């Protein structure tokens, strides 16, 4: 039973750490242990490690640590790309050596040996396309094209020059400090891809997330069917009921079947748990980015809109407070000339500040052109259409 409990604890700890690291900043986890663990993993652990290095090695050690941090976090590097390849390759290798021996099985056809290789290959192809495709780099030669394609909304985007590239920044673009380039329709810099996600590779990135979600679900279900086939082929249920006298019911058999599976196929169970956890995380990431695509918004723009709406609310609150204070002073100055108001009316009367609390601040996204048009823009970017039209005019 020690191995079983060790696997259960390992799975729970892995789930807790992965969810805390990737999702701990989400509003739903605010003020919880998940958020505190996220803070420790992203900031606290490094700070404690820095103090340890400084105590043991002095200033030279901390300088070396900062140089390493700069290379890993602030410069393009293939570390996370190599980690992705190690995770996918290592997981598939474990599946091959632990599970392929049982394929074909009672519930799995032999062709799954080949479809699994094909599925991993497609995922690797999407990884390459996202990592090495041009995200939409803006330079002096094509800046005028992007300026005409994306108008300024004068809310979160206004005409200004990029201080690094020394060219006008088209709307929806951003200068990536890691890649050191301006990117059209900038979404974010993805360390896993060692590339920016922008106008020209958003489709590859979203497809990468969706395909790897299906890949993890496929792996989880396939291993589950293989184990179900082993139960059937080895007649485990019959042996438990006929030779051990266990009642033939789900409640009675389930603990013994689970115990047998964990003790006999612990590697497969561990891989299933890992794939299930990753599939849940990927479904969340894909859902978030797909919703952004439907509204023609980028991750960068969500932060900009949050800052703008927060500032607008503060301005409205300040104006409402000023008007409420002015109204109160006017009431005091006219108190002697006005007849005394009923205490009940004064009690139920809403202040000017309370009246303005219901004013809604509207997000006016001029780039949202509707469901189908937004998706079409992801599939066929505006710059590609413009280049095609220009080429057609020249050749025509």
Closest CA to 131 of 78, 87, 65: 78
> Half-sphere exposure of 119 toward its Cβ, with a 13 Å CA cutoff?
19
What six digits make up the tokens of 220?
């989880």
Report how far residue 360's alpha carbon sits from residue 53's, in angstroms, rounded to the nearest whole number: 51
- Clarify whether 190 is annotated catalytic: yes
DSSP bridge pairs for 196: 189
Question: 190, 196, 216, 293: which one is catalytic?
Answer: 190
> Half-sphere exposure of 245 toward its Cβ, with a 13 Å CA cutoff?
0
Which residues are marked as active site? 190
């Amino acid at each position: 039973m020690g191995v079983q409990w060790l696997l259960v604890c390992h799975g729970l700890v892995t789930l807790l750490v992965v969810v805390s690291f990737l999702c701990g900043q989400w509003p739903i986890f605010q003020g919880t242990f998940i958020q505190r663990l996220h803070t420790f993993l992203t900031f606290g652990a490094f700070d404690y490690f820095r103090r340890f290095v400084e105590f043991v090695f002095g200033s030279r050690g901390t300088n070396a640590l900062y140089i390493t941090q700069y290379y890993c976090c602030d410069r393009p590097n293939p570390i996370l790309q190599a980690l992705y390849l190690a995770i996918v390759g290592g997981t598939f290798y474990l599946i091959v050596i632990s599970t392929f021996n049982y394929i074909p099985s009672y519930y799995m056809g032999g062709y799954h040996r080949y479809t699994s290789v094909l599925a991993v290959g497609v995922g690797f192809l999407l990884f390459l396309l996202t990592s090495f495709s041009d995200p939409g780099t803006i330079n002096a030669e094509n800046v005028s094209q992007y300026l005409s394609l994306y108008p300024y909304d004068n809310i979160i985007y206004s005409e200004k020059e990029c201080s690094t590239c020394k060219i006008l920044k088209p709307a929806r673009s951003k200068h990536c400090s890691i890649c050191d380039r301006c990117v059209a329709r900038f979404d974010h810099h993805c360390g896993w891809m060692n590339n920016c996600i922008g106008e020209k590779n958003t489709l590859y990135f979203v497809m990468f997330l969706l395909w790897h979600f299906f890949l993890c679900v496929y792996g989880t279900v396939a291993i589950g069917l293989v184990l179900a086939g082993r139960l059937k082929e080895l007649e485990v249920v019959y042996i438990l009921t006929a030779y051990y006298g266990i009642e033939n019911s789900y409640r009675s058999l389930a603990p013994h079947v689970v115990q047998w599976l964990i003790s006999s196929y612990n590697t497969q169970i561990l891989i299933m748990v890992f794939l299930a956890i990753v599939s849940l995380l990927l479904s969340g990431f894909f859902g978030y980015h797909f919703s952004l695509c439907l509204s023609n918004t980028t991750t960068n723009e969500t932060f900009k809109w949050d800052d703008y709406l927060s500032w607008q609310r503060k301005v409205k609150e300040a104006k409402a407070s000023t008007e409420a204070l002015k109204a109160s002073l006017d009431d005091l100055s006219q108190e002697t000339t006005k007849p005394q108001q009923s205490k009940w009316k004064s009690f139920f009367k809403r202040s000017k500040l309370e009246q303005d609390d219901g004013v809604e601040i509207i997000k006016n996204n001029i780039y949202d052109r509707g469901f189908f048009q937004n998706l079409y823009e992801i599939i066929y970017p505006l710059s590609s259409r413009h280049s095609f039209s220009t080429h057609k005019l020249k050749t025509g």
